[in-house]
Chain A
Amino acid sequence: MTMKSILSTVDPEITERLVANRREFFRSSALKLGAMASAPLVLAMASQQAFGQELPQEIVDVLTFALTLEHIEDAFYRSGLEADGLIPDEYVGIFNQIGKHEAAHVAFLSTALGSAAIDRPALDLTAGGKYADALENFDTYLTLSQTFEDLGVAAYKGQAGNLISNDDILQAALQIHSVEARHAAIVRKIGGKKSWDGAFDEPMTKEEVLAAATPFLA
């Protein structure tokens, strides 16, 4: 599935909601900062694809960071589901479901960012050879799946405070965050582990998350 075909599956309602929210942001900014409605901005607003640059930079940064992680997960599950004989039959339904969610997250965040959305970065799912059999050995695959899911949970949690100024985007991020936690729980179960590490899930900073994720970026 190409990025374009993914985007075409996105519910227009999301776009409308985000556009409406952007308008509200724009209005309040205009009130505070004086007239900002330059012709290019108005034109950009008319395009449903191109409003990412009108979100505050702090929010664009968080969404771009989240989109990077979702791209890694999306590619990881696509590759795993395509690899012959990697995923045992009894778990294919679960990984198929998880993969669908990650693809939907990529589409959602890309729509929210509009023209500011990044394409899928070049990836190395073996992390420079550290996980050389990532797509051949199910144990390795499972370890990486758990890593990506737990990392996603900690990453969204760590960024929630940076989204506090935008109710709609904060809520959407939380709605993705808990989906990642569901994934983490079942993937851990498949690996014969506890679905949690205690009563509270700790957040991670962007720097901590990037340190863990960067080896998977080619």
Chain B
Amino acid sequence: MATYSTNEFKGGLKIMLDGDPFTIVENEFVKPGKGQAFNRVKVRNLKTGRVIDKTFKSGESVEAADVIETELQYLYNDGEFFHFMDPQSFEQKSAPQAAVGDGAKWLKEQDICTVILWNDEPLSVEPPSFVDLKVVETDPGVRGDTSGGGGKPAKLETGAVVRVPLFIEEGEVLRVDTRKGEYVSRAKE
């Protein structure tokens, strides 16, 4: 079992706490004038995203979490699992709904996603920051109105709904920022 000593603690280090994998967000060494030293850390649960405070006795060791970040290609969703493939090894991995979360609405087949693996299983899936998606449903375009002011909702091929300028038509392919959930531009084909 790999372990880390508290003096190796730094932001980004992955550790196990109460059976869950966590990443260290912030580490502070604290010590009263005389007395024991502690490492006071903020850690994020990689399963739930929740950030909690934790204190360790300095010099103690904590179990390391076998967590790596990798790039996998999204293949398909079978209704229960999202399936991915390593483009180099062609090895396939399946991620449960919970690992994909809200990002599911941006997933288009063939797109390369950032996947966090814990003990070799997908723990969380992050869609690409920018995706090109086709508009499948929106009110008819208002020609000549290129102001972009106001806007209207448009449903995309993955099911996501974003606000788009009035001139956008069904069938057009748009570039979308998945982190903000916002329309960026028409996609350049």
* A and B assemble together: no
**B→A interface (CB under 8 Å):** none
**A→B interface (CB under 8 Å):** none
